[in-house]
Every structure is written in C-alpha cells, then in structure tokens.
Structure 1
Amino acid sequence: MKKVDFNQVLNDYNEVLPKGVFLTTKAKGEVNTMTMGWGTAGFIWNQNILMAPVRKSRYTHQLIENSEFFTVSVPLNGQLKKELQFCGTKSGRDYNKVEELNLELGEVEECNVPIIKGNDLHFICKIKYQQDMVKENLAEDILENKYPDKDMHTFYYAEVAAVYQEE
C-alpha cells in the first residue's frame, strides 16, 4: 500500500459512497465493520474531514463511542459486493463479520483500527467531533422518509489522518 493525498481521491470516494463502503472500528479488542452509504468528505477547521453517520441502534455505534478512530475502506471497482451486502444487513451483535466473511484485516501505523484489505482506498480517521441528531431540527419530509422508526444517527466528524491506496 502507498499513502496518497486526500484531495486526489476525494472524487472517487464521493462517487462510490452511495454504493457502499466499509466503516470499521475497534474497541476493547473487538473489531466490527458495517456498510456505510451516507457521509461526506471535505475541509473543516483547516483539516481534511470525513463525516460518518452511524445509527444509534447499530452495534458499530456502541464500539465507535469507545474509540478515537475508525477506518473507511472503499471498493472503487465493484469488488466485495456480497460482503458489503452482508455487512449492511447483519449486526455485529449476532455475527463476527470478519470471520463469517473471511475478511482480511490490515494494520496501519496511525491507529489500532484495521482496514479491510481488498479495497482500493483506505481512510484513517481520527474523531474530532460528534453530534447526535435532534429530530426536532430535521425537516419533516426527511424525518418521515428516512427515520420512520426515529432511529437517529450520530454524526462523527473525523480528521483524515492518512489515505492509503492498495497497489
């Protein structure tokens, strides 16, 4: 893997995000990954920032609350579709997704949260700010269409500490 510049990969990331990427976190020795299809990347506080929404009901939420980092692994070429589908529909409470899917984890120097190998890009993200959604502040059409069960997100704003590209 080689390190690459955040701005060079921003367009690729934003193009593939709606198709799904892997958000991985680790706390108390336990690793979990989920499929993330919403989020954004940009420049805030003079830093490259990736914002990742995680629903409070998700097992990943429980882990990310006890971590300073998460990683985002991005399949730019349509690979790992079955794995993304599984990670988007199965809970880490019920499955060890890494073992179940035989996912290969990779270490990075910036943190102890692994990446999911076999993806093209990997963002190493250090959480700088988090905010729980307030349903009273949300437009009614979004609340009705995207949150019928009122299962709101926490938004995690993270500095992109590094970006790796698999060779």
Structure 2
Amino acid sequence: MKFYENLSEAMENLTKRGAFLTVKESDSVNTMTISWGYVGYSWNKPFFVAMVRPQRYTYEFIKTAKDYTISIPYSDEMKKALTICGTKSGRDIDKEKVANIRFIPAKITETPVVDNCDMYYECKITYVDRIHKDSFPDELKKNYPKDDYHYVYYGEIVECYTK
C-alpha cells in the first residue's frame, strides 16, 4: 500500500487515541504510547517522524536501533493498553504481559508490531536530531517544563499496511 493511503484516519487516531512506538534491541522489545508524530515526504522518501524524550526507557532502545514500528489502533479496544504503555515504564513492568498486548513479527523490520491494531508503519531510522531549546519557539516551550526536549527520529517507511 502507498504510505499516504488511510493517512487521514491514521493521523486522526494517533492524535485522538494514541499509537504504539515499538523498538527492539538485541532480544528485548519495548513499546510506548505516542500521540505526537507525523507522516511526511523528504529526501524523495516517505517518513514517519516520531519523538522520544531522553528519560523514556524506549530511548535506551532507540538510540542504537536501526528501525522502529508504529502500530495504530482505530478503536477503543486498546485504550487500556495504550494507557499502561504511556504511563508505566518497561524498566518496571513487562508491558506485553501487564497491558495484555502481543508483539508479532513485522513484514520487513526486525522490530515487531503490536497485534490487533489497524494501521502499521515499519520504519528504518535514517536521521536523528534533538530539539534545541535556543531555537525553539517560546510559545511551544510550555510543552517542556522540565527542559526535557525530544529527540526526533526520521524513520523511512519501508512498509505500511492495514490489519
């Protein structure tokens, strides 16, 4: 499927319900809930751009990873799982068990996807940068009361599909 197919529905559900950002490192997998991110086209390639704060457990995985996946549910069936994965750390709990989710193999990436979602993006990390406080607009700094600015991950979409 083309990266822009179902994009309106995917972005609406990302911002309304959230999505799972999943990363694999060695034999370990961690997922977290995101509601910020976007799909775009740069450098003649489609990208899913995701942001991760440095204090998140997922950051420990993604800073050395080659890829990540985005799994977006379209219904409230995953609401509890999204809440757990957005408020609890994989340092402290087994999210797969506690949130009652299941990781299944992705089509291309080493990182799996979260089963029972409706839209999937498999992404190869191409570029990373950190949001720089000095060049960030004052009106948006309220999103960072602890000065914990995100790292921004540009993941080339190497595969996308619906359930």
Band the TM-score falls in, shorter-chain normalisation: over 0.9
Deviation at 1:28, TM superposition (A): 1.9
1:79–1:119 CA contact under 8 A, matched in 2: no
- Cα distance between partner residues in 1 of 2:97 and 2:75: 23
Q: Paired residue for 1:14?
A: 11
2:104–2:112 CA contact under 8 A, matched in 1: yes
Unaligned 5+ segments in structure 1 are none
Aligned counterparts, 1:52-131, within 5 A: 52-131=50-129
What amino acid does structure 2 have at the position aligned with 1:87? C
SS of equivalent to 2:6: helix
Matching of residue 139 in structure 1 with residue 145 in structure 2: no
What amino acid does structure 2 have at the position aligned with 1:37? S
Deviation at 1:153, TM superposition (A): 0.2
In the TM superposition, structure 1's runs of 4+ consecutive aligned residues that sit over 6 Å from their partners are none
Counterpart pick for 2:149 among 147, 152, 155:
152
- Cα distance between partner residues in 2 of 1:96 and 1:136: 37
**Percent identical residues:** 35
What amino acid does structure 2 have at the position aligned with 1:7? Y
CA RMSD of aligned residues (A): 1.0
SS of equivalent to 1:6: coil
- Cα distance between partner residues in 2 of 1:77 and 1:155: 27
Aligned counterparts, 1:22-41, within 5 A: 22-41=20-39
Unaligned 5+ segments in structure 2 are none
Q: Paired residue for 1:164?
A: 161
Question: TM-score scaled to structure 2, two decimals?
Answer: 0.95
2:107–2:159 CA contact under 8 A, matched in 1: no
Q: Paired residue for 1:48?
A: 46
